[in-house]
Structure 1
Amino acid sequence: MIKAVFFDIDDTLYDTSGFAKLARKAALQAMIDAGLPLSQQEAYLLLREIIKEKGSNYDKHFNILTKRVMGDENPLLIAVGMITYHNVKFALLRLFPDTMSTLIYLKKKDYQMGVISNGLTIKQWEKLIRLGLYHFFDEVVTSQEAGSEKPDSEIFQLALERMGCKAEESVMVGNKFSEDILGATEVGMSAILVNSELTENEKEIIEIEGLKVDVISDIGQVNTIL
């Protein structure tokens, strides 16, 4: 019997991919308008390269960008980029349509709820607060705290310990098969894949290993399983 439900954040509770690209392009255009000597296409390709190198949770992408282009960090352009990025990001921050109703449903059913997320702790809390969701969760566990990222078992074990629940009584809801689903099932949790389609190889893995995985197209369908 499931007693605890853990969620990923990005592209599970809200649409991350859609707004991130828009926010980055707006930030780069503002930097160009303020003196960055690149076209927007050149700047965007360079930023993507830096993000790939450092990871999306690194907080000094614009610092590196200005240093590579201009030979040294440019505080003005960095500030312009950061402020524009955050202003646009927060203006576009939106839950998936059924996220709130799903969390309310689970709360009414007395499920324990938690978050397991790769990223910096402050950033993950900031997202939950701005989305108006932080009060739903009993525990928020990040890779920064665990010292390991999904799908490593350590982050899932830490979340289970802090929630005080057993793996077999817990389910992980996430959009990434390799990180959320395989990581959770490896420690004995069941899992729900949302906003993502399984590849033939992933279907084969589930069948061969007998994994407990449900696949849904919308987070609002969680209540059909729990």
Structure 2
Amino acid sequence: MIKAVFFDIDDTLYDTSSFAKLARRAAINAMIDAGLPLEFDEAYKLLREIIKEKGSNYDKHFNVLTKRVFGEEKPLLIALGMITYHNVKFALLRLFPNTMSTLIYLKSRGYHLGVISNGITIKQWEKLIRLGLHHFFDEIITSQEAGVEKPDEEIFKLAIGKMGCKAEKSVMVGNKFSEDIVGAINTGMSAILVNSTLTESEKEYIKKEDLKVDVIKDLSELRNIL
């Protein structure tokens, strides 16, 4: 019987993909208006390349951008980019429709709730606080704290240990098959894929390894599984 339910954050509890693009585009426009000597498409392409290179959790994308354009960091442009990005991001920050009701239901049923997330600890806490979700979770485990990222088993083991629960009585809910699902199963946990679909190669992997993976379209479906 499942006792602990762990969640990923981005694109699991709230929709990050749709607003991130809008926030980045707004930041680039603000920087160009303030003197960034690039056309929008060129600047946006460069920012995307930097994000891909450094990772989405890196917190100095705009620093790198100005340094590559000017040969040195430009504090004014960096600050404009960061503030515009965060203002737009937080204005658009929205939970998926059934996130709150599902968490309330799980807590009322006595489940222990936790987060396992790749990212910087402060940034992950900031997201949960702004979303009004931080009170729901007993433990928040990040890759920064663990020293490894999902799907490494050590981050899952750390989370289970902090929760004081056994792997076989824990489930991971996330939107990324390779990070959330495979990592959890390799640790002995159950796994549920949400807000995503399996590719053919992932289906073949599941069949080959004889894995049990539940796939749901909405967090509210957890009520029928747990």
TM over 0.5: yes
User: C-alpha distance in 1, partners of 2:204/2:55?
Assistant: 30
User: C-alpha distance in 2, partners of 1:187/1:141?
Assistant: 15
Aligned to 1:169: 169
> Number of matched residues?
226
Residue ranges of structure 2 left out of the alignment (5+ in a row): none
User: C-alpha distance in 1, partners of 2:26/2:64?
Assistant: 18
Q: What is the CA-CA distance between 1:200 and the residue it aligns to?
A: 1.7
The aligned amino acid for 2:179 is E
Q: What is the CA-CA distance between 1:98 and the residue it aligns to?
A: 0.5
Q: What is the CA-CA distance between 1:207 and the residue it aligns to?
A: 2.1
- SS of 1:114's partner is strand
The aligned amino acid for 1:78 is I
- SS of 2:9's partner is coil
Q: CA offsets, 1:181-205, max 9 Å, x none?
A: 0000001000000011011221122
Q: CA offsets, 1:150-204, max 9 Å, x none?
A: 0000100000000000000000000000000000000100000001101122112
Aligned to 1:91: 91
User: C-alpha distance in 1, partners of 2:110/2:207?
Assistant: 32
State the percentage of identical aligned residues: 79
- Which of structure 1's runs of 4+ aligned residues deviate more than 2 A? none
Equivalent positions of 1:178-217 (< 5 A) are 178-217=178-217
**Given that residues 177 and 193 in structure 1 are in contact (C-alpha distance below 8 angstroms), is that contact kept between their aligned partners in structure 2?**
yes
Q: CA offsets, 1:33-67, max 9 Å, x none?
A: 01101111111100011011110111110001011
The aligned amino acid for 1:45 is K
The aligned amino acid for 1:177 is F
Aligned to 1:127: 127
**TM-score normalized with structure 2 length:** 0.99
Equivalent positions of 1:1-226 (< 5 A) are 1-226=1-226
The aligned amino acid for 2:192 is I
User: C-alpha distance in 2, partners of 1:159/1:183?
Assistant: 12
- SS of 1:193's partner is strand
The aligned amino acid for 2:97 is P
User: C-alpha distance in 1, partners of 2:180/2:208?
Assistant: 18
Q: What is the CA-CA distance between 1:212 and the residue it aligns to?
A: 2.6
- SS of 1:49's partner is helix
